[in-house]
Structure 1
Amino acid sequence: MAIIRPFRGLRPTPALADKVAARPYDVLGAPEAKLEAAGNPYSFYHVSKSEIDLPEGTDVYSQPVYDKAAENLQRFISEGTLFQDDTPCYYIYRLVMNGRSQTGLVCISSISDYNSGIIKKHEFTRPDKEKDRINNIKTTNAQTGNVFLAYNDVPAINSLIDQWTVHHSPAYDFTATDGIQHTIWVVDDNATNDNITALFDTKVPHTYIADGHHRAASASMVQKELEEQQRIGLDDPANYFLTTIFPASQLVILDYNRVVKDLNGLSKEDLLSKLEYDFVVEPIGHLPQAPSMLHEFSMYLDGSWYRLVAQEGTFSYDPIGILDVTILSNNVLDKLLGIKDQRTDKRIDFVGGIRGLQELVKRVDSGEHKVAFALYPVTIQQLFDIADSGNVMPPKSTWFEPKLRDGLVSHLL
């Protein structure tokens, strides 16, 4: 059963919450972060994307970046931008996007649950991304990136959380510049917290990582290193990691698309011809069209869009084989474009569906990439089925929206 705990969250003074809140560190690059933080000394990008405060061209994985993050975090604390609650609390976090809301519980989850498989994974991680988060955690002595978990609905938990939001005022309630509303309640009642802890311990056999595989893996590795060095005890905060857990019924997965830098030595005509062995290939013009069903893909190449429909016999019906990300990986990325490991191959990049198909056009038309593929999104049940089977999806298979904001609740070690 799932082990979760309340904790003494590090969070903004209420008047500054909307100024502190920042998009997750891994959904934007340094130039975007620098632009969004311009004129805002309170932005959490000064911690999560601290390269914005260093000379242009600084290696984002270099130690000065992590040192600057630690320096800025301590400055936020000393100046009162951030403060730590006196007693352990749970935090209820509601996001509203386009009229749809989802409400989760901010807590710390057990790293032993992660290691033993009670917290289930559906993706492999990339070593370079793991190392980045490890260095960030060790240098800042904090977990500032939230791991987004999901669980099969438990009515008693949903009801308890809903009741708290009805009868208590939120600590923060603001709408960000992208139109997403963020509301957080602080659960500071010991009896309620004990009840929440007990419900997860008795009613939730598993939680599932929806977003944040690298953050979870890195927290586990840091904990292991500290344990081997005999620097932590049983109740140490480093035995847990920062999570927000949502009921599955409230979640929506968007597409997660691919762009590739070259055609692996093929001409445009060669690629189109070879695709016809496994797909029905249809030109669809110059305007973007998203896939409308499973096993259908949209490809952007040399200024034109094509519909690709996987033919029978080119995929299997097991939980992994039936996924569109698997079909694309096996029949196009590996077979034709020579991309064997999407975790490490620098020729491929991933574009979340929230950016729209125009982002794919932009990447290809700029010459930065040669071809783009848009996919139909997987379902939350597919994600659970794969995690339950012990399998993993290809990297970057799911994109969840809306995103949690960094900086609203952090976990100090």
Structure 2
Amino acid sequence: MAKIIPFKAVRPARDKVALVPSRSYDEYTPAELASQLDYNPFSFLHVLNPAYVNQLKISTATRFKAVRTRYEEFKDEQVLQKETQPVFYLYEIQSRSRIFTGIIAGTAIDDYKNNVIKKHEDTLPYRVEYFKDYLHQTGFNTEPVLVTYPEDTDLESWITAKKHKRPLYLFSSLNRDKHTLWRIKDEEDIRWLQEKFEAMESLYIADGHHRSASAEMLYEEDKPSGNENLNYFMSFLISENDLKIYEYNRIIHDLNGLSKEQFLKALSSDFTIENKGQQLWKPEAKFQFGMYLDGEFYALYLKETSFNSVFEALDAQILYEKVLHPLLGITDLRNDSRIEYIPGSKPVTVIKQMVDEGEYEVGFTLFPASIEEIKHLADNNLIMPPKSTYIEPKIRSGLVVYEI
């Protein structure tokens, strides 16, 4: 049984809604960031990076306090406004290729602790601690955890009907995505939604493992305060059929002392190798791997495809066990400086360019993991290898804020 709650969100004023929300801070190039901060006074980036104007180098604690101050200024200036009653939101993101629709709600820390909300990724303690401190000092979170639920035809029919109603917001962002937000404030709708999720045995975190872990840590530290908002964290709940799961591809700086010929020969013991020349080839099924090396693309077909577990059969784990570790000498996928990761949402030409420029020696492309693989691992308390999935949608900061 999963518990969700409506909450008194903070959101942009109607007349500024197209100007406030931003992508995640680290997704901007320096030039894009400067442009937004120089020419858009309403961008939420001013809250996230309040020291920009003076280019100050400040301590973490000072920065967090400045974020809180700028956030309160946005509210005082009515750039951001708070709901007068707890609500849910129905949110649609329409890109050039896909439409994502889900529900923004508060999800229970107890469900996270009791494994009703299940995980498939490990977390880094320092990142969890850092974001916990951020939440504690700033008092808000604007990046919902992406949580998926099993397909539910009644819920999909309800969503379809609600999308015919007049929205609260309808705007386009600079990347040409269209965003539509409906406010769900009717008590009957709220009760019906809560009952639907109470009937679900499990929910699954698709993206946001560090954010949810930080929310739990903050709850454990601050629960004596009696703040009820600590009992929940903001989530974007979306049907598992609506997720877009990409792979994370890998690029490596060197061949670990091997020549090209030695490396190809070593690969041939586990893979059938097909030279694709200049064809921009990517895997078309499980147990296939693409490789770009010395100006040419290769298809690698795994010879032995029988495994004892779903974990061992993950393409990311196979690449590690057959190539990255034994041949290229990479043991720590998180921290080894010789490996970098490229989300599968980017074209394979990005990998080609990075290798051609000479900083990297070889690139590998993978076939994306399936939702069934992700759920199986989560159900069995197993963790995927680092950087196994890149999952969309990505939610914009500053559109809906959960105050703690």
TM-score by structure 1 length? 0.89
Of 340, 363, 368, which residue of structure 2 is paired with 1:372? 363
Deviations 1:261-297 (Å, cap 9, x if unpaired)? 3333434333323222222223322453221221111
Q: Which amino acid aligns with 2:79?
A: T
Offset of residue 23 of structure 1: 1.6
Match of residue 136 from structure 1: 134
Offset of residue 348 of structure 1: 2.6
Matched, 1:348 2:343: no
Match of residue 273 from structure 1: 265
Match of residue 385 from structure 2: 394
Match of residue 192 from structure 1: 189
Please show how residues 3-402 of structure 1 align to structure 2 within 5 Å: 3-25=3-25, 27-28=27-28, 32-48=32-48, 55=55, 62-98=60-96, 100-166=98-164, 168-201=165-198, 203-227=199-223, 230-233=224-227, 236-312=228-304, 316-402=307-393
Deviations 1:118-172 (Å, cap 9, x if unpaired)? 1111111233432342232222111121111100022232233332222x31111
Distance 1:129 1:303 in 2: 37
Greater CA drift, 21-30 or 181-190: 21-30
Q: Which amino acid aligns with 2:297?
A: W
Q: For residues 363 and 131 of structure 1, do their structure 2 counterparts lie closer, same or farther at Cα, with a shift above 3 Å needed?
A: farther
Distance 1:194 1:274 in 2: 60
Matched residue of 1:77: which SS? helix
Greater CA drift, 98-107 or 340-349: 340-349
Q: For residues 51 and 280 of structure 1, do their structure 2 counterparts lie closer, same or farther at Cα, with a shift above 3 Å needed?
A: farther
Distance 1:320 1:54 in 2: 49
Distance 1:130 1:303 in 2: 40
Q: For residues 41 and 387 of structure 1, do their structure 2 counterparts lie closer, same or farther at Cα, with a shift above 3 Å needed?
A: same
Q: Which amino acid aligns with 2:16?
A: L
Distance 2:23 2:176 in 1: 13
Offset of residue 53 of structure 1: 5.0
Matched residue of 2:341: which SS? strand
Matched residue of 2:225: which SS? coil
Q: Is the 8 A contact 2:107 2:233 kept in 1?
A: yes
Q: For residues 255 and 192 of structure 1, do their structure 2 counterparts lie closer, same or farther at Cα, with a shift above 3 Å needed?
A: same
Offset of residue 17 of structure 1: 1.4
Q: Is the 8 A contact 1:321 1:327 kept in 2?
A: yes
Q: Is the 8 A contact 1:261 1:348 kept in 2?
A: yes
Distance 1:83 1:356 in 2: 39
- State the percentage of identical aligned residues: 34
Distance 2:330 2:162 in 1: 49
Give the alignment's Cα RMSD to 1 decimal: 2.4
Deviations 1:67-96 (Å, cap 9, x if unpaired)? 443333222222111111111100001112
Q: Is the 8 A contact 1:10 1:412 kept in 2?
A: yes
Q: Is the 8 A contact 1:25 1:48 kept in 2?
A: yes
Offset of residue 65 of structure 1: 4.1
Offset of residue 105 of structure 1: 0.5
Q: Which amino acid aligns with 1:251?
A: L
Distance 1:48 1:317 in 2: 46
Distance 1:173 1:100 in 2: 17
Greater CA drift, 398-407 or 2-11: 398-407
Distance 1:327 1:160 in 2: 41
Distance 1:273 1:223 in 2: 53
Offset of residue 109 of structure 1: 0.5
Q: Which amino acid aligns with 1:13?
A: A
Offset of residue 19 of structure 1: 1.2
Which segments of 5 or more consecutive residues in structure 2 lack a partner in the other structure? none
Q: For residues 25 and 395 of structure 1, do their structure 2 counterparts lie closer, same or farther at Cα, with a shift above 3 Å needed?
A: farther
Q: Is the 8 A contact 1:30 1:52 kept in 2?
A: no
Distance 1:126 1:367 in 2: 31
Matched residue of 1:298: which SS? strand
Q: For residues 80 and 364 of structure 1, do their structure 2 counterparts lie closer, same or farther at Cα, with a shift above 3 Å needed?
A: farther
Q: Is the 8 A contact 1:279 1:310 kept in 2?
A: yes
Offset of residue 378 of structure 1: 1.5
Distance 1:302 1:47 in 2: 45
Which segments of 5 or more consecutive residues in structure 1 lack a partner in the other structure? none
Q: For residues 53 and 341 of structure 1, do their structure 2 counterparts lie closer, same or farther at Cα, with a shift above 3 Å needed?
A: farther
Distance 2:50 2:262 in 1: 44
Q: Is the 8 A contact 2:290 2:366 kept in 1?
A: yes
Greater CA drift, 278-287 or 141-150: 278-287
